[in-house]
Amino acid sequence: MGRDQFERFCIDSGYRIKRLRNYRVTTNSLGVTRFQNMIKDIKVTHVNQVFVSDITYFDIGAKTYYLTFIMDLYNREIVGWSASDNLRTESTTLPALHRLISERGRSNIKGSILHSDGGGQYYCKDFKALTKDLEMINSMTEEKVYENSHAERLNGIIKNNYLHPYGSKNFISLKKQLDRAVVMYNTGKPHKALEKLTPSMFRKTIDNENNSSSYFPLSTVNNLNYKRSKLSNKKVNVI
């Protein structure tokens, strides 16, 4: 029984410890008109279809810094990220979005959905202007935290599995270690949902991918059995 299955078993059986909540706020939703949740009940079938994003905090001594991530929901790959010492849009979501453009290319993300929580950094006029220019579809959570659960979980993985063990001493080292953590996560962390492949490896094995500026892979939902046989000979060290 894996960790996630064990957690579900405990929760379903009533064995759940009430967790102390950290009420530190990383987004300001006051006065924000929320976008409609465009990924509710959606079936994600290819890369560049849905991106999820969130902002989290990271403490070094008495100082608090902020990390912004954008993840491709299909192959769980981190494709946009930034570290900042403030919560302004130009320091958080905009740099992460520009990184996404660099990583995936403008033509590939045209028409894709960018899903986030209700933070003002995702509704700022500069951010909206860029997503409009990219022809991306803005999406936000409406009520429940789990509506952005993949991004929330990613925050904890990067901080607890990588950044805390790296032991950054200051903001400069944090930015360097964040780049290192993203590479290690994308290339070294297998996922059960990805046939125990890493995000980068999974994307490279998608059917019909040609790495051109207009590639569009087939759905693994319709080709799951074929993919399992195709990947059966690959060995991945699970960590």
Which domains, and CATH codes, for the chain?
A: 35-223 (3.30.420.10)
Q: Which H helix or E strand runs over 12?
A: helix 3-12
pLDDT by residue, tens only, the chain of 239 residues:
665 566 666 656 666 554 444 545 545 555 556 799 999 889 999 999 999 999 999 999 999 999 999 999 999 999 999 999 999 999 999 999 999 999 999 999 999 999 998 788 999 999 999 999 999 999 999 876 577 899 999 999 999 999 999 999 999 999 999 999 999 999 999 999 898 999 999 998 874 344 433 333 333 344 444 454 444 444 433 33
- What amino acid occupies position 17? I
Return d(Cα 88, Cα 236) in angstroms, integer.
Answer: 40
CA dist list (Å): 82 to 92, 98, 176: 6, 10, 11
199: three-class secondary structure by DSSP: helix
Three-class DSSP labels, 87-129:
CCHHHCHHHHHHHHHHHHCHHHHCCCEEEECCCHHHCCHHHHH
Closest CA to 69 of 31, 34, 117: 117
